[in-house]
Amino acid sequence: MLLGKQGAGKGTQASRLADHRGVPHFSTGDLFRAEAKEGTAHGLEAESYMNRGELVPDPVVVGVVEEQFRRGTFDGGFVLDGFPRTEFQAVELDRVLDGQPVDLVATLDVPTEIALARLAGRRVCENCGTVYHVDHPPKHDWTCDECGGNVIQREDDTEAAIERRLELYEREMLPIVQHYRRQRRLVVVDGVGTGDEVASRLAAAIEARVGPDVET
Ligand code: AMP
């Protein structure tokens, strides 16, 4: 499980890690964005909170996560990204996992000024979610290199919503960090540096705890 403030590189690292380990990458934010685009009831409810930078209410979030576990999506393992975001969600996750705690909770540590700069320049593919930055745009005219989708600025990457999200993060994350520290599952990984540097730090932390990945 990856934790870290917005702009810490959680989504990018979670996706790399999931590919590397051959398990699903589950991001509650991506799921809500996809559902909002499809216009499902959950998606539309979530969208109003997301656009303001507020957290989606716990029962909605826990409901969608539990549904994925029930469907067996995570039977072979998983990388969780953006969940849990509240202590209630962390306690509910323990219940859903039914006595089989997550292997490792890694928090990506990045100073707020760096996170802010990353977020303000962040652009994402509205189709597949690939992340770019104004300093590292796609090759052709804001068209995604991976899927050809439109690369746009997320509605909640505005200055006001970013500030609100970072403020909420500080408040909500502390009890979660303590929850996993008590379970001795938490490692802090330095999230400053290139994607490759952070990925290799993360891989080393995981290997030390959980053992080598499937390919080695
Ligand atoms: P993210 O893509 O992880 O930055 O999430 C984008 C937005 O989705 C957040 O600002 C929240 O509005 C909502 N969201 C995602 N995951 C959760 C969660 N676990 N609990 C509550 N809201 C969430």
Domain with residue 17: its CATH number is: 3.40.50.300
CB of 115 closer than 6 angstroms to any ligand 1 atom = no
- Nearest Cα residue to atom 1 of ligand 1: 29
Active site members: 10, 85, 122, 154, 165
Is 163 inside any structural domain? yes
3-state helix, strand, coil in the chain (%, to 5): 50, 15, 35
Is 215 inside any structural domain? no
The pair phi, psi for residue 123, each rounded to 5°, is -130, 145
212 C-alpha to center of ligand 1: Å?
Answer: 30
Is 189 inside any structural domain? yes
How many whole angstroms separate alpha carbon 69 and alpha carbon 14? 18
List all residues 6 or more positions away from 188 whose beta carbon is below 8 Å from its beta carbon.
Answer: 106, 107, 109
Enclosing domain of residue 54? 2-210
Is 68 inside any structural domain? yes
pLDDT tens readout for residues 119-173: 889 999 999 888 899 999 999 999 999 999 999 998 888 888 888 888 888 888 8
Is the separation of the CB atoms in 81 and 27 below 8 Å? yes
Structural domain count, the chain? 1
pLDDT at 216 over 50: no
pTM of the shown model: 0.81
Is 216 inside any structural domain? no
Q: Supply 116's token pair.
A: 């802010």
pLDDT tens readout for residues 11-68: 889 999 999 889 999 999 989 988 898 998 888 999 999 988 889 999 999 999 999 8
How many whole angstroms separate alpha carbon 4 and alpha carbon 174? 11
Confidence of residue 213 (pLDDT cuts 50, 70, 90): low
Is 117 inside any structural domain? yes
Is the separation of the CB atoms in 175 and 168 below 8 Å? no
Cα 52 from chain centroid (whole Å): 18
49 C-alpha to center of ligand 1: Å?
Answer: 9
DSSP 3-state of 39: coil
In a 13 Å sphere around the CA of 120, the CA atoms on its Cβ side amount to 9
